[in-house]
Amino acid sequence: MSKATEPQQTPYLLPQGAYPVYMPKANDEIDLFELMATLWKKKGVILLVTFLTTTMAAGYAFTAKEQWTSEAIVTVPSAAAVSNLYAGYRLLSQDDKVVPISDIQNSVFKRFLDDSASYDNLARYLAETAYFKELVSGKTEKEKIQLLDNWVKQITIQPVDINAVDKVRVTLPADNASQAQQLLRQYLVQSSQQAVQQSYADLEQQIAAQKASLADAMMASRSVAEVRRQTEIADIESSLLIAEKAGITKPELSAGMELKQNNLFLLGSGPLSAMLQGIKTQPLVLSDKYYEQQTNLYSLEKYQPNSEKVLAFSYLKAASDPVTKDKPKKALILVLGALLGGIFGIVSAFLINAIEQRKLHG
């Protein structure tokens, strides 16, 4: 059939006032069978591209550096763990205002969390490990700093639940499972020791201040008592002198007479001499408050700090030995490699076919 006799498609016209819509030509319609035929014809290209991308993905998956993450969950230390520290704070308590042991537990745990979450503490700890020194062997100083910074930022210390801030999850990654577990355990212990040492340093500082305060108070009490005794001695000596001059050797007090400072000489020189000797030789008369202070001071001096037995946290879940690695996810990488390869292969097949068609009709 010639082009002159070939039926022509006429556009479908909408009513007046509407835009005309022209039906596409049959040659412009997508033929699924033609597409499938093209893909089948170019299956070699698709398979080749898929093979190449999958091979590249496999190469990465099996050669990329592995990462394993150890996890621990910690909470406040037990009462037994802080008993020695608590004993020290109880000695500081006065007027029966005993510090609750829960305050000591929470205080030590908070200090532990602050120390363990400190960027500087983390960086200092990791930089001193044999693992990191081996990891950065042969690298420049800039590369070492960058590697350390990236590692520190991967460590997480977060509450398990926003409503349970006393339960904290700590994670630390490394390139093998046992190393991650060991590094995490050691860091938790080191942070605990640091928190405990700081807690004891604060306690010992308070104890030293309390001991000095008690010693000063006791010295003041003794000074007051000594002044009181010297005053009493002076009064008796004065009365004795009057009694001796008056020749009064025995008491000459009238019935019902009240003994006062100005008539003390009426006791007579004999009794007054005995009183004077007794006051000079007897211990100072001190108040009950003085002996209470003395007992407190003695207790503080006998207190023995023992930081070795104190732990700043307790485990809800000990640092684990990871059973699955974080990366690379080999299966996922291979699947993605094959999927991307298939997509690139199909696109390549259509591009090649389009180029061939253009050359054929050109």
Q: Token digits for 239?
A: 């009365």
Identify whether the C-beta of residue 181 lies closer than 8 Å to the C-beta of residue 70.
yes
Give the pLDDT score at 203: 94
CA–CA distance, 331 with 328 (Å, rounded to integer): 9
- Considering the domain architecture, whether residues 80 and 178 belong to the same structural domain is answered as yes
Q: Is residue 170 part of a domain?
A: yes
- Considering the domain architecture, whether residues 120 and 186 belong to the same structural domain is answered as yes
CA–CA distance, 217 with 292 (Å, rounded to integer): 11
Backbone angles phi, psi at 111, to 5 degrees: -65, -40
DSSP helix/strand/coil, 355: helix
Q: Is residue 2 part of a domain?
A: no
Pick from 184, 135, 181: nearest CA to 155:
184
| Terminal Cα-to-Cα distance of the chain (whole angstroms) | 24
Contacts of 307 (CB under 8 A, 6+ apart): 84, 193, 196, 197, 200
- Considering the domain architecture, whether residues 111 and 211 belong to the same structural domain is answered as yes
Q: Is residue 182 part of a domain?
A: yes
Give the pLDDT score at 235: 85
- Considering the domain architecture, whether residues 176 and 239 belong to the same structural domain is answered as no
| Count of domains forming the chain | 3
Give the pLDDT score at 163: 80
Give the pLDDT score at 327: 60
Parent domain of 73:
67-219+303-317
pLDDT in tens, the chain (362 residues): 444 444 555 554 445 544 444 444 445 455 677 777 766 776 777 777 777 777 776 665 555 566 788 999 999 999 999 999 999 999 988 666 778 999 999 999 999 999 999 999 999 999 999 999 988 888 899 999 999 999 999 999 999 988 877 899 999 998 888 889 999 999 999 999 999 999 999 999 999 999 999 999 999 999 999 999 888 888 888 888 888 888 888 877 776 667 677 777 777 788 888 888 888 888 888 889 999 999 999 999 999 998 887 889 999 998 887 756 656 565 666 677 667 767 877 777 778 777 777 777 76
Q: Is residue 17 part of a domain?
A: no
One-letter amino acid identity for 207?
Answer: I
CA–CA distance, 270 with 243 (Å, rounded to integer): 9
Pick from 122, 130, 124, 121: nearest CA to 172:
122
Q: Is residue 295 part of a domain?
A: yes
CA–CA distance, 70 with 170 (Å, rounded to integer): 8
**What's the pTM value of the predicted model, to 2 decimals?**
0.67
Q: Is residue 243 part of a domain?
A: yes
- Considering the domain architecture, whether residues 57 and 89 belong to the same structural domain is answered as no
- Considering the domain architecture, whether residues 210 and 160 belong to the same structural domain is answered as yes
CA–CA distance, 178 with 68 (Å, rounded to integer): 9
Beta-sheet strands, E only, within 180-271? none
Cα angle 124, 127, 128; round to 5 = 90
Q: What is each CA distance from 292 to 211, 283, 287, 351, in whole angstroms?
A: 13, 17, 9, 98
- Considering the domain architecture, whether residues 258 and 164 belong to the same structural domain is answered as no
CA–CA distance, 136 with 153 (Å, rounded to integer): 17
- Considering the domain architecture, whether residues 110 and 233 belong to the same structural domain is answered as no
Q: Is residue 18 part of a domain?
A: no
- Considering the domain architecture, whether residues 73 and 177 belong to the same structural domain is answered as yes
Backbone angles phi, psi at 25, to 5 degrees: -70, 155
- Considering the domain architecture, whether residues 39 and 187 belong to the same structural domain is answered as no
**Length of the chain (residues):** 362
Helix (H) / strand (E) element for 45: namely helix 43-63
Q: Is residue 44 part of a domain?
A: yes
- Considering the domain architecture, whether residues 124 and 54 belong to the same structural domain is answered as no
DSSP 327: B
Q: What is each CA distance from 275 to 164, 223, 229, 257, 340, in whole angstroms?
A: 72, 21, 12, 20, 112
- Considering the domain architecture, whether residues 296 and 308 belong to the same structural domain is answered as no
DSSP helix/strand/coil, 54: helix
- Domain of 154, CATH number, reads 3.30.1890.10
